[in-house]
Structure 1
């Protein structure tokens, strides 16, 4: 009994061979070896109680405390593990969860990045980085490109509208009728649009920056030479052909560059760019009549030439977009243009704006003459044109902002604004006083301005973003026929009828006819996610190395 019970007084004189002695024997690492018998003796009186009994397969006793560093054992593991020896010297603690061995390389940072194709901008312009909320950010230099394109649109549109204010003095100086003088205002528009494919091809070959700077120099040179004209033919060649061609080399590359820098917000960015036309129109509306009264039409053309030379500096802001592996050249341009000419939706889209442009520019070219016809003087006529230009910019920004809403496809926005523009143009002859003409001209300016950004953003909905620059240039070439014939035709109707009533009614009919063609586009009634980040029509399939930048839902034709 004495050997089995262990002695009192704190448990001295324990027999080594007793079960209690075996229970107090410790292993190499200091872990107490549990008693294997089912009945363990306990101490006597005030002696320290013996450890509780434990059988193999049952959980360890609750009083068991593991050594420091081993952690508490799980209840389902049973007996705590027994270490056989010290850890080896080469043992490395486990890596934290998510780390990869060094020989596997760094983990990918963006698993859903789009492929870097020649026509796709880098991921910086497509949206925020993974895990970051907020609107998409443009690539570096995008805001400078937007500012440069804004200045270019302001100077180009300002020069075109300023020529419309000079038609009466020019016709009076050379004894030309309204129809002949109108060619001075429509020829630059036709050259601007007819030179669109040339501007897109040259910007693809040499870059947008040098082409835009060369175009700014040509436009200023054309206006400068027009100041020394001695015949109407000289004005057709200098102001009409040379200045208009220079504007084409500026306008098309700048819009194409902005469309590539801001693919997710293309409609809004285009609206901000073309709203520069309202700033210049608002400034030049009162200024050009003052220049004509002070310096005559020759001095006014010289000052307009000095203003147009600033396009050289604005073109320098078109920073090239770095796209890896892009080696553009003329051999790749021809197949892209030929495929556009064989695409039915694009042809219908271009023909729609041939009809639209046949009536669109009539109020801008003949608006001042209409103001004089209803009894306005030079000052009030300039205010009518300035008001039309001012609200024009508001319409461009408003339409671009509304087009970014995902509720309605962009082509439906374009159709609605084109119909409103045609209806207001039909009502324009009702303005027989300064107040009435001012109100109707302001309404027309707002609706007409809303059409512009949606027209250029709609190109990407029809053909995809991959051939945006080529499509804009080709569309402007088709448009040139409408803008070339529309204002002279309105002037001829005025000469035949004696007033501008029939001229404005015919212009409104052209606009409504063009808007009806938009209904035939495939993306109008059943829309898909287009290239511009909005719902639109199917995009053009790629050929060769020139791959369009399409979204995941955008089918190829």
Structure 2
């Protein structure tokens, strides 16, 4: 009990801010690496004499395989420690970039970039540890780590372009691997943080009789324990998981159609690309405004408001596009990414409120898994919608509808909670009034 109290007192101060720094660095490196690979796409296509979609598919498979590593990272964190898991995954990711620099065939490049996807699992574990280390100042910590996404978007792609000009694509890939070596250091900085609740569960497992263990299905028990599958019995968690999945779908679709959509309207390639940079500024603004807004606004209110903002930003795209307004597209891009950033921060804080510390790492990993699955689905359906209709405007309206649809499970859960609260309040009031009447009747009988 003394050990648990000491850990509670250690939250929000001291080493917790070092964890925030590691989360900031990991977010910047993950986002920046994926964007840098996109910058290398034309050079890689020319080097391997292949089509654009082959290199694009290999880069997208990096993120797709990274999604698969998230449940694996959660199970390994339970078996080993989050520190060892992040270091192992980071070493594999760096090894993948080094192998990519030595690739002589496109098949070898695809395998190497698949290994790079382990950085996604490492990043998700760090986010889970950040949630464990913070309680009171979790809003500020999340905002700081989320600012790393803006840094990765705005700094690393231009830096990669400069490295390509000086060192070529192989040298640039090796330098990118050297930058990602910092992920190993981030993993080494993750001190184990155990709570009294975990110790209690361990003691209960120790006290369990051997005879009872023999009758249990150990495979199912281990899966439930290492992957924390009991999280899916919580309606609040499932609702937030669905929201993150839809959010990942919308964001990936927005990234896919934004630049070609702007070029279709007649804007130059550099002007179209700058719209994504403006989105990076919107994400940075979200990281700054969220801790301030959180002081006076509950997380669920923020989630509803920001979701409506992102829905309108995506839905107004056809109207702005009909006027061929570049400023209008830039404003909508900034508003959408600003709203999305604040919504993601609100969801992470809501997960923090409903999930225990001993399940937090797996909870964040499942959130990243849902986000990645949504992105993979959007990568196919957004392009398919354009091929069928020949217009990006319908894709924008579809993304707007999905953004609003993702909020429906959370709305149902909230309405159910309100109904239960009112039902309980009515029962309490009736019981209270009956008690008062009973006391009054007893008093009258006594007086008689």
Picking from 135, 147, 150, the partner of 2:24 is 150
User: Taking structure 1 as reference, are residues 385 and 527 closer, same or farther at Cα in structure 2, changes over 3 Å only?
Assistant: farther
Instruction: Give 1 or 2 for the bigger CA radius of gyration.
Output: 1
Kept after mapping to 1: 8 A contact 2:303/2:346: yes
Query: Equivalent residue for 1:420?
Result: 309
Query: Equivalent residue for 2:425?
Result: none
Picking from 366, 384, 390, the partner of 2:275 is 384
Distance, in Å, in 1 between the alignment partners of 2:366 and 2:159 is: 34
Structure 1 position 124 matched with structure 2 position 124: no
User: Taking structure 1 as reference, are residues 230 and 499 closer, same or farther at Cα in structure 2, changes over 3 Å only?
Assistant: farther
Picking from 477, 486, 495, the partner of 2:378 is 486
| CA shift for structure 1 position 323 | 4.5
Q: TM-score, normalised by structure 2?
A: 0.76
Query: Equivalent residue for 1:307?
Result: 179
| CA shift for structure 1 position 437 | 3.0
Distance, in Å, in 2 between the alignment partners of 1:182 and 1:512 is: 29
Q: How does 1:427-438 map to 2 (within 5 A)?
A: 427-429=316-318, 430-431=320-321, 432=324, 434-438=326-330
Say how many residue pairs are matched: 397
Kept after mapping to 2: 8 A contact 1:289/1:382: no
User: Taking structure 1 as reference, are residues 285 and 422 closer, same or farther at Cα in structure 2, changes over 3 Å only?
Assistant: farther
Query: Equivalent residue for 2:36?
Result: 162
Picking from 362, 377, 381, the partner of 1:470 is 362
> What value does the CA root-mean-square deviation take over the aligned residues?
3.5
Gap regions ≥5 residues in structure 2 = 206-218, 421-448
Structure 1 position 216 matched with structure 2 position 61: no
Q: How does 1:108-119 map to 2 (within 5 A)?
A: none
Q: How does 1:441-480 map to 2 (within 5 A)?
A: 441-480=333-372
Distance, in Å, in 1 between the alignment partners of 2:164 and 2:415 is: 48
| CA shift for structure 1 position 391 | 2.2
| CA shift for structure 1 position 124 | 1.7
Distance, in Å, in 2 between the alignment partners of 1:523 and 1:308 is: 45
Distance, in Å, in 1 between the alignment partners of 2:402 and 2:270 is: 31
Q: TM-score, normalised by structure 1?
A: 0.62
Gap regions ≥5 residues in structure 1 = 1-114, 127-137, 529-557
Structure 1 position 512 matched with structure 2 position 397: no
User: Taking structure 1 as reference, are residues 521 and 461 closer, same or farther at Cα in structure 2, changes over 3 Å only?
Assistant: farther
Query: Equivalent residue for 1:277?
Result: 149
Distance, in Å, in 1 between the alignment partners of 2:316 and 2:373 is: 25
Structure 1 position 244 matched with structure 2 position 117: yes
**Alignment deviations for residues 436-479 of structure 1 (CA, whole Å, 9 cap, x no partner):** 43332222221222222222222123434442212222233333
User: Taking structure 1 as reference, are residues 270 and 193 closer, same or farther at Cα in structure 2, changes over 3 Å only?
Assistant: farther
| CA shift for structure 1 position 380 | 3.3
Moved more, 184-193 or 411-420: 184-193
Distance, in Å, in 1 between the alignment partners of 2:260 and 2:43 is: 11
Distance, in Å, in 2 between the alignment partners of 1:507 and 1:237 is: 32
Structure 1 position 258 matched with structure 2 position 258: no
Moved more, 468-477 or 314-323: 314-323
| CA shift for structure 1 position 373 | 3.7
| CA shift for structure 1 position 284 | 2.4
User: Taking structure 1 as reference, are residues 477 and 370 closer, same or farther at Cα in structure 2, changes over 3 Å only?
Assistant: same
Kept after mapping to 2: 8 A contact 1:419/1:515: no
Specify which structure has the higher proportion of helix.
Answer: 2
Distance, in Å, in 2 between the alignment partners of 1:523 and 1:498 is: 40
Query: Equivalent residue for 1:44?
Result: none
User: Taking structure 1 as reference, are residues 287 and 231 closer, same or farther at Cα in structure 2, changes over 3 Å only?
Assistant: same
Distance, in Å, in 2 between the alignment partners of 1:527 and 1:263 is: 29
| CA shift for structure 1 position 155 | 0.8
